[in-house]
Chains A and B, each alone.
Chain A
Amino acid sequence: METQAFQKIYTKINQITKATCSLSAKGVGYDELAIIHGRLAQVVKIIGDNVTLQVFSGTEGIPTNAEVVFLGKAPSLKVSDDLAGRFFNAFGEPIDGGPAVEGEEIEIGGPSVNPVQRMKPSNMIFTGIAGIDMNNSLVTGQKIPFFADPDQPYNQVMAIVALRAKADKIILGGMGLTNDDYLFYKNVFDNAGALDRIISFVNTTDDPPVERLLIPDMALTAAEYFAVQKNETVLVLLTDMTLYADALSIVSNRMDQIPSKDSMPGSLYSDLAKIYEKAVQFPSGGSITIIAVTTLSGGDITHAIPDNTGYITEGQLFLRRDTEIAKVIVDPFRSLSRLKQNVIGKDTRADHGQVMNAAIKLYAEAANAKTKLENGFDLTDFDERSLDYAKEYSHDLLAIDVNISGEEMLDTAWNLFKKYFTQAEVGIKKEFSDKYWPKD
């Protein structure tokens, strides 16, 4: 980022905090970028001549006579087909040793899609993971996070989903990604021969946290280019959005804003919504689907970050270790895909909805029976059967290593129903039981 001859250079900074510098300057636009002491910064407040800059990499070592140059534009990304296969940092600069990408320069964090120009998302994304496809079917244009404890294999599941999703482009937005995880994604995509479909914007744990704030907008600006201009189906992976929100709170605390719950800024909901709402299905066929990761602390989903996320996204996926079968499963109680009804029984067989509900209700019966057992009570015959059923259901359908088709998963469920229950106990609409209840 070179400075140009005609640009005015300021050298008198009158206030420095951990994240911001203020100086007297004229003709500065809101949201504009500046270079201060060789570091990228953005205008966050203007009062008269006094301009406050947020310095992405932090203000350590910035002197009061540091050079400041304003760039006359908001953060932007050059977009073209050449983005494919490339790795960038939070500023959109290549980190893979390749040349800079040429193309149309677009300001990131651009406007929203007019709601009447959207199409109802209604194409199912098949992942082969029955815990997702059967109980939490994903749809193109959806936005959904994994709510996961840090020790759960969410990056692995996300990579499987990404590769099986049949997307034209997969865009990885990594925020505070460990170097190991970054290399994991790189290897998985490489081994699958998918690198030319992948674009990555990565901020690792080695990079300054505030830089992360640019990652989602960079990734989504690239996504919009492919979805709008090329009518492609684009899958955006954002991990870890908790670290993104943490960076928001760092900035707002340092700017002395009044925090709301859990020391998060009062605007957290709007800030996160601006990102997630970029998920869209266009009538022209292009789409942006966002699958994110929100790590939890101690499984607490009432914390402001997962809580606000839950209110924005179209459901959430929970992973859980099922000790009965010693496998990680997609938790059917706490997971939910809000858009599943757009595709259930339409992109899948007509009995899907009823089978899904019945299977979960019976699984819930087993959970009740388990509680009874733990409290030392006798089990009824029905309790015993539901416990046996639950084990098999978990193993054959919920485990994340399951990879079967939409028909197979339904047939598997019918067989389990028949094995353990009567038709009345299962309680499915008669027209479906008549058709699918396994014959002897």
Chain B
Amino acid sequence: MTTNGIVAGIIANLVIVEVDGPVSQNEICYIKLGNTRLMAEVIKIIGKNAYVQVFESTRNLKVGDTVEFAGHMLEVSLGPGILSKNYDGLQNDLDKMKGVFLKRGDYTNPLENDKKWGFQPLAKVGDMVEAGFWLGEVKENWMAHKIMVPFKFTGKFTIKSLAPKGEYTILDTIAVLNDSDGKEYNVSMMQKWPVKLAIKAFKHKPRPSKMMETGIRCIDSLNPIVEGGTGFTPGPFGTGKTVLQHALSKHAEADMIVVAACGERANEVVDIFTEFPLLDDPRTGRKLMERTTIIANTSNMPVAAREASVYTAMTIAEYYRSMGLKILLLADSTSRWAQALREMSNRMEELPGPDAYPMDLPAIISNFYSRAGFVQLNNGKTGSITFIGAVSPAGGNLKEPVTESTKKAARCFYALSQQRADSKRYPAVDPIDSYSKYLEYDEFKEYLFQNISPDWLEKLLYAKNLLIRGKEAYEQINILGDDGVPIDYHLRYWKSEVFDFVILQQDAFDEIDSSTPIKRQKYMMDKVINLIKDSYEFETFDDVNKYFRRVINLLKQMNYSEFESADFKKFEVELEQILNERRVAQLA
């Protein structure tokens, strides 16, 4: 028997429903408004009153309108066909909607029910299986999409029958499983999972240790992130959070990218829609869109669905991680998600925490970040979700609840600085304030030693120190004047500027400079660190200044040229000549 109810009160998208039976927290219900059904989620229950947040505008809704409860939480459909899709926050396929404008209650199928997929069994009849076990696979774009025992199945099962190699739809039964009591269950290629719960079908979550190459130098060469790591990018408006997220989604070494456009601009999603189908993924030779799924719940779309959108994205990432894939999950911006929570909490007249955010905000954020990570699956294979969230602090002040809570949850901190953005030093990631906790992990240090180069970490730490010393010198010069300090201070400052301009700054809109493979990063890092370690002789501080501008200019020309091309080498020769003009002692 399903529970029904009637509308008893309306305050914007918070609706009070008087119910005639049992309801559960986070249960989904549908409010009937004429011929449309508005989806809503239970967020509080007091006696007979269920408080629901409606995922749509409540305009024209009346007291007395009828409500039907669905008996389950907000769920997503998981199966082949998710790659390359554009979904809203509730996983409606945006491309299947008719008309220019979104219509209330227009819920579309996230997958295709009649499309046939070439199924290849991976298990055999009689196998003992459990949730997440790979029964077979289909080819989705370029990847082997594993068909798994549904995550909702608890305990052990035996495979009673398994479909042979062939073409099936997502609704066809491809396996029949027996539980220990001999009860039979049909399994198809599609399953559902409630987004607010983490998918835990894996053996364990070891500490991550492999570097996730992003192609972004200020990350890889200074504060690298790992596969299965977490990071966040707080920054005032206009400092480059979205450009950085887009750059990551284009260039990062991942099998799949899930982009959650959460409460930000629609035009930024359009950028991805338009560019990604055209851009090549250098690793597969296919188009970037083929490894990308977009969850677009932009700022003008319903606020409650915005809150759901990050969970929808995370659940999709978890589903693909269970296939042994490397997923990069990006959310822009998690502050908008927190604000959606705040709006509802205020409407429910809850006791507010700092800045009127709900009291449990830190717990909600850390709970979400903890769903990312590197996992070992039950079959011994590994998968990962690397999560990088943008944070938009009010007034650019990092001492606000969302930034502070996120800082406790995420392990990499990429602080975008207003000052750097103003002087167009992009990406504006502050090299001194930012950090990667992974640099402290012994297993990660070992990885760098073995896989990048034995002295990578040493160089990286040297660079960090160089930047701090450069900044100190700059401050002294500003206080005492150009003439008031020894020439050595100028030298120190300009050496840090070389590193800043050549390694840290990177033009996201230049075809070549926008992404730097690790091999090239290593080459440039060696080149720059070596020339910084060399000694030079100058008569006046003005000479230092002029000289290093020339050095920087040539190194930048190298950055803009194809790696190891004729141009690249020509600039390099020219650079050596300049270096020889002033160099007195060269590093061995």
A interface, CB within 8 angstroms of B: 26-32, 44-49, 74, 107, 110-121, 141-142, 228, 257-261, 266-267, 269-270, 273-274, 277-280, 282, 302-304, 307-308, 310-312, 314-316, 333-334, 336, 338-339, 341, 353, 357, 360-361, 364, 372, 375-378, 380-382, 424-425, 427, 429-430
B382 on the A face (CB < 8 A): no
B346/A257 in contact, CB under 8 A: yes
B154 on the A face (CB < 8 A): no
Write out the residue numbers on chain B whose beta carbons fall within 8 Å of the beta carbon of A333.
422
A-B contact pairs, 26 of them (CB 8 A): A30-B10, A30-B60, A30-B61, A31-B60, A48-B9, A112-B101, A114-B100, A115-B269, A115-B273, A116-B94, A118-B266, A120-B273, A121-B267, A267-B346, A269-B339, A270-B299, A277-B299, A336-B238, A357-B424, A364-B423, A372-B481, A372-B482, A375-B478, A376-B481, A382-B546, A429-B557
B360 on the A face (CB < 8 A): no
Separation in Å of the A122 CB from the closest CB of chain B? 9
Separation in Å of the A371 CB from the closest CB of chain B? 8
Report the Cα distance A107→B392, complex, angstroms: 33
Can you name 9 extra interface pairs (CB under 8 A) apart from A30-B59, A304-B395?
Answer: A31-B60, A116-B86, A258-B349, A267-B303, A310-B237, A377-B484, A382-B546, A427-B549, A427-B552
Write out the residue numbers on chain B whose beta carbons fall within 8 Å of the beta carbon of A314.
265, 267
A118/B267 in contact, CB under 8 A: yes
Write out the residue numbers on chain B whose beta carbons fall within 8 Å of the beta carbon of A48.
8-9, 63
**A46-B9, A119-B270, A267-B343 as given contacts; A380 in contact with B59, CB under 8 Å:** no
B300/A381 in contact, CB under 8 A: no
**A47-B9, A258-B352, A277-B298 as given contacts; A270 in contact with B101, CB under 8 Å:** no
B584 on the A face (CB < 8 A): no
A114/B97 in contact, CB under 8 A: yes
Separation in Å of the B301 CB from the closest CB of chain A? 6
Separation in Å of the A66 CB from the closest CB of chain B? 22
Separation in Å of the B566 CB from the closest CB of chain A? 13
**A48-B8, A257-B346 as given contacts; A115 in contact with B61, CB under 8 Å:** no
Write out the residue numbers on chain B whose beta carbons fall within 8 Å of the beta carbon of A278.
300
B interface, CB within 8 angstroms of A: 8-12, 16, 57-64, 86, 94-95, 97, 99-104, 236-238, 263, 265-267, 269-271, 273-274, 296, 298-301, 303, 336, 339, 342-343, 346, 349, 352, 355-356, 392, 394-397, 422-424, 478, 481-484, 509, 541-542, 545-546, 549-550, 552-553, 556-557, 560
Separation in Å of the A435 CB from the closest CB of chain B? 15
Residue from A115, A121, A311 with most neighbouring chain B CB atoms (10 Å): A115
Number of A-B pairs whose CB atoms are under 8 Å?
200
Complex: chain B residue closest to A425, CB-CB: B549
Closest CB pairs A-B (n = 4):
A273-B299, A277-B300, A302-B395, A310-B237
Report the Cα distance A40→B392, complex, angstroms: 38
B298/A260 in contact, CB under 8 A: no
Write out the residue numbers on chain B whose beta carbons fall within 8 Å of the beta carbon of A49.
63
**A29-B60, A30-B60, A277-B266 as given contacts; A302 in contact with B397, CB under 8 Å:** yes
Complex: chain B residue closest to A272, CB-CB: B299
Report the Cα distance A28→B12, complex, angstroms: 14
Write out the residue numbers on chain A whose beta carbons fall within 8 Å of the beta carbon of B8.
47-48
**A31-B60, A74-B59, A112-B102 as given contacts; A307 in contact with B394, CB under 8 Å:** yes
Report the Cα distance A44→B59, complex, angstroms: 10
Write out the residue numbers on chain A whose beta carbons fall within 8 Å of the beta carbon of B99.
114, 117
A120/B270 in contact, CB under 8 A: yes
Report the Cα distance A303→B356, complex, angstroms: 16
Separation in Å of the B390 CB from the closest CB of chain A? 11
**A31-B59, A46-B9, A46-B63 as given contacts; A378 in contact with B481, CB under 8 Å:** yes
